[in-house]
Structures are given as C-alpha cells and as structure tokens.
C-alpha cells in the first residue's frame, strides 16, 4: 500500500467527512473471511445523495479511549465497531491515542437503510484525514470494507462494483466506480415501513445463513453471472434489464436468508405490499423496480420522470410510515471540520 504521513497536514488530528448510503442492486450476503471481512460474492450498488452521514473525528494525544456520539447518543456495540475501525487507522499512522467521534445521520439508523455503509465510509474518510494519512480512494475502500463490507462501496459515487477479489490479503477486494451518477441519474423512493432497529444485524444474519441455509452454495455459484448481467445493463443504461436482475438478486438473497435456521425474515406486511405495487406499476409501463436489504424498508428505483407517481403509489400503502426521495450522489468527501457539534 502506498501510504505516507503528511507532517504538515492542515487541521491535523481533526477532520470531518460526509458519505451517503448505497443500495446494492446485486447483493452482498456472506463472508469468506470474517477477520479481513472478505465477501463470499462480489456486488453492485448505487450511491444515494440526499441521505447522509456526517462524521467528525478528533484524535486527542494522551487520551486512552474513544468517545463516540451517534446522533447525540452513545451505543456500546456501535462504539466497539468504531474503535475497531479507528484501530486500523491508528495502526497505519503509528499512533495509539483515542479519538472523539461525533456522527449524525439524517435518516433512520440500523433499520436496513445502510447506515453502516455511509457511517464507516465517513469514519474512514474523516479519520484518515485527521491523522494526515494520504490514502487513495481504493485504499480507503479496503479499510472501509474491513469495518463494514457495504461501506467499501460508499467511498465512491454513482454505480459501483465491489470486487470479490482473489488475493489472500484482501487488497483486491475493493470497490470501484462503474458509471457516474450524472451519466444515468435514476431516482430512488424509499418506503419506510418501520423505524425500529432490525433484530438480526447483517453480520450475524450472514453467519447464520452460511452455516445453515441449504442454498448458500447456489447463491455463491450464480453470483458471477448476475454481476455480468447487471454491469452490462448499467453500461448500456438498459432499465428493463437492470430491473430484472435487481429484483432477481434481491429475492434470491432473501430466499437464501429465509432458508437459514432459524429463518431470517426481514420484511413486514407493508414491505410485501410495496413489492406488489411496484410490479403492478411496471406492468402498467412505469419504469420502476424494487430492492430490499436486511430490513423492512423498500427502495423503489425509477426513471426521474416517474418519481412522483412512484412516491404517491407507495404512500398509499397501509403500513408505509414515510416515503423519502433521493437521487444518486457522490462518494465520501471532506466537510469543514467544526461543522458538526462534537
């Protein structure tokens, strides 16, 4: 890795960054190495724009522990993950002191809205800056991957592929951009059907699935073909092809997870109603498709002209609490330090 410490970094030890969640169209589910957090399969996603995480990191020489505030609160399990992530940065920089971390999301946390993706992408970006580490985007993506797999993709904007990789050290299991957001500016309506934190987190869900689901090997064996299909659809801006492969990958991932023991059922009734509504709209000629991650929220991806119709249709469904609307956006980037309250 090409890393060096900048001795003269402006704003040294203190920096802030913003990153946005991404939504996988060809899903990541399963790990082949839990220490390096290497995925069992490659994946393809879109990075969003109007949902965000903003994170400020201040390293304090002499401080032994990290102090973490997430949306103004502290959470022990999340703090442990943040410390583990900061440890990777501290190792690179050769320092051992603690940090004050303050992070805010403008969307519900831990309810299947990819808060860990934007959260760890913003943390790695801000932490590296604060420590004066000069890291390429690919190197940031590798570090973000170790903190949470999907965070590897939020380092980049637009359409992004996270490669399975071949190397044992994981340095080639990295995300890279496929197409800019502006090159195919699809929109996304997010139907919020629950604001509760999910009961089984992704890491635990993947572990249980790999150990008990009889479909695990079929999932791994068929992923390369799905990635090829989705990549070609994106590069050709072929909406129908992307719709088909995305719904297929989503339903296949959930079928795999439902077949674990005990089965993982991330949907509620409203999630399923939303799926039917999206398919009915598409049958009527509206360019829209759905995807759902490890939670009950449904994301409807559509052509820009269809967004109001899609939002109205989802809002009508009993059990839908709110519908957010976002375009596709950029990758992780610096913000003025001090813009967030620490």
Q: Which of 17, 18, 20, 37 binds ligand DP6 (CB under 6 A)?
A: 37
Largest CA distance in the chain: 63
Quote the least distance from Cβ 125 to ligand DP6, whole Å.
16
Stretch that binds ligand DP6, among 135-143, 144-152, 208-216, 223-231 (CB under 6 A): 144-152
- The position carrying tokens 């009950």 is 296
Q: Which of 16, 17, 28, 69 binds ligand DP6 (CB under 6 A)?
A: 28
- Regarding 179 and contact with ligand DP6 (CB under 6 A), the answer is no
How far is C-alpha 294 from the geometric centre of its chain's CA atoms?
Answer: 11
Beta strands in the chain (DSSP E): 14-19, 22-26, 31-33, 38-39, 43-47, 53-59, 67-70, 99-105, 159-162, 175-179, 187-192, 288-291, 298-302, 322-326, 333-335
The CA-CA-CA angle for residues 93, 98, 102, to 5°, reads 105
- Regarding 148 and contact with ligand DP6 (CB under 6 A), the answer is yes
The CA-CA-CA angle for residues 32, 148, 226, to 5°, reads 55
| Nearer Cβ to ligand DP6 (24/82) | 24
Quote the least distance from Cβ 268 to ligand DP6, whole Å.
16
- Regarding 116 and contact with ligand DP6 (CB under 6 A), the answer is yes
The contact pattern for ligand DP6, residues 206-245, with x = CB under 6 A and - = no contact, is ----------------------------------------
The structure tokens listed for 62 are: 């002499």
* Residue 175 per-residue DSSP state: E
C-alpha span between 292 and 299 (Å, rounded): 6
Quote the least distance from Cβ 145 to ligand DP6, whole Å.
8
Q: Which of 20, 43, 154, 223 binds ligand DP6 (CB under 6 A)?
A: 43
| Nearer Cβ to ligand DP6 (99/257) | 257
The structure tokens listed for 246 are: 């995305």
Q: Which of 203, 212, 244, 342 binds ligand DP6 (CB under 6 A)?
A: 203
C-alpha span between 212 and 265 (Å, rounded): 15
Number of shown-chain residues binding ligand DP6 (CB under 6 A): 14
Quote the least distance from Cβ 2 to ligand DP6, whole Å.
25
Q: Which of 15, 17, 27, 69 binds ligand DP6 (CB under 6 A)?
A: 27
Mind spelling out the 3-state secondary structure of 248-291? HHHHHHHHHHHCCCCCCCCCCHHHHHHHHHHHHHHHCCCCEEEE
Positions touching ligand DP6 (CB under 6 A) are 24, 27-29, 37, 43, 116, 148-150, 202-203, 293-294
């Amino acid at each position: 890795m090409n890393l060096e410490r900048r001795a003269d970094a402006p704003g040294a030890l203190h920096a802030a960054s913003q990153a946005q969640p991404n939504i996988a169209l060809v899903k990541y589910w399963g790990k082949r190495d839990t220490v390096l957090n290497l995925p069992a399969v490659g994946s393809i996603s879109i990075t969003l724009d109007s949902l965000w995480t903003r994170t400020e990191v201040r390293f304090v020489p002499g401080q032994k522990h990290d102090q973490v505030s997430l949306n103004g609160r502290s959470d022990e399990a999340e703090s442990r993950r943040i410390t583990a992530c900061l440890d990777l940065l501290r190792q690179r920089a050769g320092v051992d002191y603690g940090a004050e971390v303050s992070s805010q999301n403008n969307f519900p946390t831990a309810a299947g809205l990819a808060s860990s993706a934007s959260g760890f992408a913003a943390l790695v970006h801000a932490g590296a800056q604060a420590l004066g580490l000069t890291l390429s985007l690919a190197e940031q993506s590798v570090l973000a991957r170790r903190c949470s797999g999907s965070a590897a993709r939020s380092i980049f904007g637009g359409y992004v592929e996270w490669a399975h990789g071949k190397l044992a050290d994981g340095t080639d299991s990295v995300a890279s951009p496929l197409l800019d957001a502006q090159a195919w500016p699809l929109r996304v309506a997010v139907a919020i059907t629950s604001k509760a934190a999910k009961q089984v987190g992704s890491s635990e869900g993947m572990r249980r699935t790999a150990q008990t689901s009889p479909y695990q090997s079929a999932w791994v064996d068929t992923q390369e073909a799905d990635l090829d299909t989705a990549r070609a659809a994106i590069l050709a801006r072929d909406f129908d092809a992307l719709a088909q492969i995305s719904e297929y990958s989503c339903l296949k991932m959930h079928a795999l997870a439902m077949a674990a023991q005990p089965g993982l059922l991330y949907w509620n009734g409203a999630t399923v109603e939303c799926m039917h509504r999206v398919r009915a709209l598409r049958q009527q000629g509206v360019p829209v498709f759905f995807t759902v991650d490890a939670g009950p929220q449904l994301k409807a991806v559509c052509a820009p002209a269809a967004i109001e119709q899609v939002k109205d249709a989802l809002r009508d469904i009993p059990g839908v609490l709110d519908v957010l609307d976002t375009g596709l956006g950029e990758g992780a980037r610096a913000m003025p330090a001090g813009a967030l309250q620490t």
